[in-house]
Structure formats: structure tokens, C-alpha cells
Amino acid sequence: MSYKEDLNDRNKDILEVKKIDDETRDFLGVSILKFLDKKNLLNNPAKLALFSYSHLLHWKFSPDTISKCKTSSNLNFETAQNYFKHTEKFKQIPFHVRSLDNLTEGGIDVGSITEIFGEAGSGKSQICFQLALNCQLSSEVMASPGKALYISTDKRISTERINQMSRAFKERFKNHPSVQDLKCLDNIYVEEYNTVEDFRRTILKLQRNHEILSNLKVLIIDSIAGIFRHENNYIKRSKDIRETFQLFERFAVKYNFAILVTNHLTSIPETQKQTASLGSTWDSLVSTKIKIEKLLNFEDSENESHQVRLMSIVYSPRLPCSKAKFSINSSSLADEVNPKAYPLADATLTTKIMTLIQQAVNYKQLRRGANEATKTLNRGLSEFIVMAADAEPLEILLHLPLLCEDKNVPYVFVRSKQALGRACGVSRPIIACSVTSNEGSQLKPQITTIQQEIEKLLV
């Protein structure tokens, strides 16, 4: 079967694509209207009204016919009340990271294009993976959960990473009613493209698969530069980008999903400043532009790598230009340490503390949990208190530092409640623990050393 014959067999599908925007007439490289049924259009004024007057004249419709059809279709202006009802459905896909959700006032917008750009290794793909998981969870800003379509263009998707993140996601939200039977990876559709032609076919595939469209919550393209950067004809590239994403955005508005696109950095020759690649045509299509910057890399006591990043709102129709820090590890995104978590142990001291806690478990010199830690302080049994800086909210622990100061007992924060739980000999997170005293204990020298190091943090 020839290409044109194949299109002819799929008139209905192509007409639906055509409905989105008559700028897409030559999008597939042929005139779509060659294959449309003129009689069918005449019998359906609502469909005919979607085409411009000049196009209908070009396709040999008479002016009288055009006028009658367009008059009979509903072309009234929309009232403000109806408009606001329509836009009420547009919500956000949350990050489930307090600092980022505060920065974006709920997450990335549904019904528009959000671009995240930054240097290689800044965590763009990790953010994409996280949002592909988060869209499956109902929340205040996203009433109905759904699925994600993840299109990778630069490299193969890391199955190990997304499996790791999926397990961490289910562990974190295990008490959420919709998570218990959730099969996270079954709700993420994956495509790998590196050419414009392959990418274009996504439009028809989406249009013809109502099941995916009706349940889609986020379309992720990682990255846009991987598709279009090899096109040397800049005029053609601009046209391809504009037509493709205008069409995608109309899908997003109609079916109520978010479009998240990552992009690379490029240098401006005149100023040597770095900005997102692909130029002004692409910039004009983006609703919200977000920059990710590297700040710090470190390893915790479990030798797990953490990266501190800065997210900045470059421009947005509804958000102020502001910034927020967050951290990335191998399995999730997290808030950067709350400044109230003071003093905070560095990696070396954290390792010593965790080692001592493991020994204290064996010597029965450990009490787990904030309540037990409070009891040991009140009874004068505590040698020092350890708290997790990522406890949410941190305020549930802030009575302990005050009590420690009143009892003259050293206290310190470590970064991870999960790591603290493992050191305490349990698989669940622990937000606080107390190393207790015991006359004649073999741990006394190590306890004294750590007490002294904690005191140095306060100097």
C-alpha cells in the first residue's frame, strides 16, 4: 500500500489532527485536504468551521456555501464565566519537594509547556523521572492521577535508575491509599527518538490512541535539543519546532496534561553568556522557563552521593522570578537541609555517629524515636541526641534542642532519617534517637570523643 493510500484509509484520523490547527496542513509533507471527503465536510458544519475562509475558497467551496455553513455552526464568543470554568481544570504536577512546590506554587503547569534547562549532569532527567512518578498520585493540586509519556532523544533511558526511584517512591508514599497496588512502571510509556521524522509520528500515534490521551498527565521530552540540534537549515528548524509544539500544546489544553521539556545550555558568542539552546523561536513557545544549576556534591555516611542544586524561575506567566535549593540522590529529590537543623554534622562526623549508634544498639544504649529521646533527657540518661534534618515538618523535633540545652546535653542533626533508621537497626526512617549512659560501658571513650566534636560545631 502506498503512503497516500494509507493516508486515504485514515481520513478520520487525519481530520482529527487537522482540527487542532489549520497551520498543520503541510505538517506531514502532503496536503492533508487532498484526502478529505468534501461532502462529509458539507454535512458537518462544525468541522468545516474549524478551517479558515481562505483555505475553504482554495478547496473550491463557494462563498455562499462557506457563509451558510459557518453561520449554522456555533461561533459565538466565549463568556468570562465559561472561560474560568474551562481553566479551573488546569492544575499542576507537584514535585513533592516542599521548597520546589513553594517555588512553583504547586508544581509544573498542566496545559502548557515548561522547559527545564541546565548543564549536563545537573539533574534534569532525574526531575523528569520524578514527575513521571508523581503524576500517578492524587494530590491537592492534581485531583485525578494519570500516566506519563517519556520520550528520550539523547540517550537510552536508565532502567536501573527509574526502578530505584520507583521503589523509593512507593516506600515514601506507602501509606497513601492509591499507592498500595500501584504498578508505577506500567503507568509510564517510553519512546526513544533521535530524528524529527520519528518525533512527528508521535502526533498521529497519540491522536489515534484515545486511551493514552485520556489518561495522560505529563508528556516528557528529554531533550528537545537532541531532536532538532542537527538540523542545519535554521529556517526549516524553526518551522518544524513551531508547528510541532503548537500542535502538542493544543493536545495538552484539550486533554489536560502537562508538557515538560529539557534543554541544553549553549553559549552566546558575543557575550559568552550561557542560555538554553534552539533560539528565539523555541523561547516564544515556552510558557515557563526553569534553570537548574549545580552547587555542591557530597557523600553521606552510607556512601550515597547527594547533589545540591539551585532551581531558578527565569520567566513564567504566573510566578515571580525566584530561586530554591534542593538536593538529588540516586532515588529521589529532596529539600535542601532546613537552616533550623543546626548544628549539622558533616560527612566525617556523620560516619562516626552512625558507627557509634550501631554499636549502641548492641550494647542496649540506644532509644529510638522523638518520644523516647525526650524521656531519656527528662530522666538524665542521655549522653547525646541525634536528629534527622529531613524530618517533615522539622518543627516536630525542635523541642529537643531546647530541652538538650536545658539539661546540658549535646545534640546534632544528620541529613537522612533513612540512614539514621538503618544505623538504629531498623528498615524504617528514624527522626531522632538518644545514646544513653551506662556505667562501665566500653563505648564511653567513643561517646566522649563525639560529644567533644559536637561541641566544636557550636563554637
What percent of the chain clears pLDDT 70, i.e. is strictly above it?
Answer: 76
Q: Which of 18-22, 52-56, 82-86, 212-216 has the lowest mean pLDDT?
A: 18-22
Is the confidence at residue 417, as pLDDT, over 60?
A: yes
Q: Taking a C-beta distance cutoff of 8 angstroms, is the pair 436, 365 a contact?
A: yes
CA 298 to chain centre: 23
Nearest in space to 344 (alpha carbons), one of 396, 304, 387: 387
Q: Is the peptide bond before 393 cis (omega within 30 degrees of 0)?
A: yes
Which has the higher per-residue pLDDT, 191 or 78? 191
Confidence bin at 133 (pLDDT 50/70/90): very high
pLDDT tens-digit readout, 94-123:
999 888 999 999 999 998 899 999 998 899
pLDDT confidence bin for 336, thresholds 50/70/90: confident
0.85 exceeded by pTM: no
The DSSP bridge pattern shows strands 113-118 and 288-299 to be parallel
Asked if pLDDT for residue 55 goes beyond 90, the answer is: no
Indicate the domain borders of the chain: 3-72, 89-335, 347-457
CA–CA separation, 153 and 226 (whole Å): 5
CATH 3.40.630.10 fits 89-335, yes or no: no
Q: How far is CA 392 from CA 170, 334, 387, 395, 416, in A?
A: 17, 11, 12, 8, 11
Whether residue 35 has pLDDT greater than 60:
no
Model pLDDT, residue 130: 94
Amino acid at 248: F
- 360 or 42, which is more confident? 360
Position 15 pLDDT exceeds 70? no
pLDDT value, residue 82: 64
Instruction: Say if CB 25 and CB 18 are below 8 A apart.
Output: yes
| pLDDT interval class at 266 (50, 70, 90) | confident
Q: Is 78 helix (H, G, I), strand (E, B) or coil?
A: coil
What are the tens digits of pLDDT across the range 218-235? 999 988 887 777 777 778
Give the least confident one: 131-135, 338-342, 365-369, 426-430: 338-342
Output phi, psi for 150, to 5 deg: -110, 115
Helical axes 196-208 vs 234-255, angle rounded to 10°: 20
Protein fold of 347-457: 60s Ribosomal Protein L30; Chain: A; (3.30.1330)
Residue 129 is predicted with a pLDDT of 94
What pLDDT does 273 receive?
77
Cell, residue 459: 563554637
Measured distance CA(309)–CA(332) in Å, rounded = 13
pLDDT value of residue 172: 82
Residue 284's pLDDT band (cuts 50, 70, 90): confident
Does residue 38 register a pLDDT over 70?
no
Tell me: pLDDT of 183 over 80.
yes
pLDDT score for 381: 96
Residue 30, pLDDT score:
35
Stated length of the chain: 459
Take residue 417 and report the three cell numbers written for it.
Answer: 532519617
